[in-house]
Amino acid sequence: MKILFRVDAGEGIGLGHFARSVSLANELKHRGHLIDFGCKESDFWKEKINSGFPYPVSVLHKGNNEIDFLKDGGYDLLYVDGNINYSLEESEGIKKYVPICMYQNLSDAKVFADVYILPSIHQNSSFFQDFENSTKVFQGLSYFTFNESLYSLKPIEVCSEITKIGVVTGGSDPRNILSGVYKLVENLESLDGIKFDFFVGESYLHKVSMPKSSVYRRFIPFDYRTITTCDLVICAFGVSTYEMMALGIPIISVGHQQSTSEAAQYLADQTESILHLGLYDQLSKASLQSAIDKMRKEEVRKLYSKKARGVVDLKGVSRVADIIESNFNAK
């Protein structure tokens, strides 16, 4: 098959959709399929293209859309990752040329998918009520796809004591949760020399106002291997949360908005794999102190680590590739 991946990334969006789409593209390429990418214009994509991105990329500008690429491109499928919205007219125009596979598209356009893949568990039947009967739906955390960098790493071994805590807030972090958690940490008590690493995403929007690093409070570039040296992670709920779960790192979670907080709470209630503290706006020194104190018990962290690894694994890319091949007449 020849597949066009529609994936936006960069300013205000982050890089999670991009990284996991590249993982899937590489898997499908390995299976003999041809892959191109289409994206909305951004500084991130411009840099990727100029630095030798390994796949052909078509950039959307004002006045054009995917149909301009699809009608003469000889494609067999449009794969859409993320909340990219289409009108009924646009979707009908696309389907004149190719079927559509959507991955975690929560926009109103989700109902136009021929195959819809949702790697989460908190949506109930009402979420799917407007789908056509012909749409094939695959839901569950077993379909979660990850950045390829994770696959070379081993899950952590839970140590007897916490010596370092990581803080992960995604790629762009529009609400600057990273600095907000830093301010709370500075006022915590009884940390007994615990170090904190604040991981700065590649597209982090607040680098100019970032606090200065010190021996016990480092602001460093996001790096999976360094994250695995942490005994505990404070994480804004999102793609990074599932990545940390796959690595077995115990997680204290906060939601950057109401919808993500509700999703995180549902995951916590159903699986007991993360410790969720609610909406970031309501995060307090006392609640964070209490959560860290709870996680200082080795047996508690071991239990969270075990349950997290039981919820997600690193085989989602293969499962999604299987869905694509089995539903779109692989050539």
Q: What are the distances in angstroms from CA 318 to CA 48, 93, 261, 287, 326?
A: 25, 30, 29, 39, 12
pLDDT of residue 187: 87
Query: How many domains does the chain fold into?
Result: 2
Query: What is the average pLDDT across 158-173?
Result: 93
Residue 331: pLDDT over 70: no
Residues 210-219 have pLDDT tens digits of: 999 998 999 9
Residue 16: pLDDT over 90: no
Residue 171 and residue 237 share a domain: yes
Residues 27-83 have pLDDT tens digits of: 999 999 999 999 999 888 999 999 999 999 999 987 778 898 998 899 999 999 988
pLDDT of residue 204: 87
Residue 111 and residue 222 share a domain: no
Residue 289 and residue 157 share a domain: yes
Residue 322 and residue 225 share a domain: no
Residue 138 and residue 180 share a domain: no
Residue 228: pLDDT over 60: yes
Domain extent at residue 213: 149-311
CATH classification of the domain holding 201: 3.40.50.2000
Residue 273 and residue 200 share a domain: yes
Q: Name the average pLDDT for the chain.
A: 93
Residue 11: pLDDT over 80: no
Residue 141 and residue 40 share a domain: yes
Residue 129 and residue 157 share a domain: no
Q: What is the band of 163 on the pLDDT scale with cuts at 50, 70, 90?
A: very high
Tokens of 134: 């012909």
CATH classification of the domain holding 85: 3.40.50.11190
pLDDT of residue 53: 95
- Of 24-28, 32-36, 150-154, 249-253, the one with minimum mean pLDDT is 150-154
Query: What is the average pLDDT across 268-281?
Result: 97
| Cβ-proximal residues to 230 (8 Å cutoff; 6+ apart), any chain | 164, 165, 166, 197, 249
- Amino acid sitting at position 40: K
pLDDT of residue 330: 54
pLDDT of residue 13: 72
Tokens of 131: 């789908």
- pTM of the full structure: 0.85
Residue 91 and residue 212 share a domain: no
Residue 92 and residue 26 share a domain: yes
Residue 303 and residue 158 share a domain: yes
Provide long-range contacts, Cβ within 8 A and 24+ apart, for 295-299: 295/162, 295/232, 295/250, 295/252, 296/161, 296/162, 298/158, 298/159, 298/160, 298/161
Q: What is the band of 4 on the pLDDT scale with cuts at 50, 70, 90?
A: very high
Residue 202: pLDDT over 50: yes
Q: What does the alpha-carbon distance between residue 95 and residue 311 come to, in Å, rounded to a whole number?
A: 35
Query: What is the average pLDDT across 175-181?
Result: 95
Residue 182: pLDDT over 60: yes
* Higher-scoring residue by pLDDT: 16, 186: 186
Residue 164: pLDDT over 90: yes
- Amino acid sitting at position 325: E
Question: Which residues are 232's β-sheet partners?
Answer: 165
Residue 304: pLDDT over 50: yes
Residue 274 and residue 163 share a domain: yes
What is the side-by-side strand order in the sheet with 57-60? 57-60, 34-40, 2-7, 77-81, 100-103, 115-118, 136-139
Query: What is the average pLDDT across 2-29?
Result: 89
Query: What is the average pLDDT across 154-166?
Result: 96
Residues of the chain above pLDDT 70, percent:
98
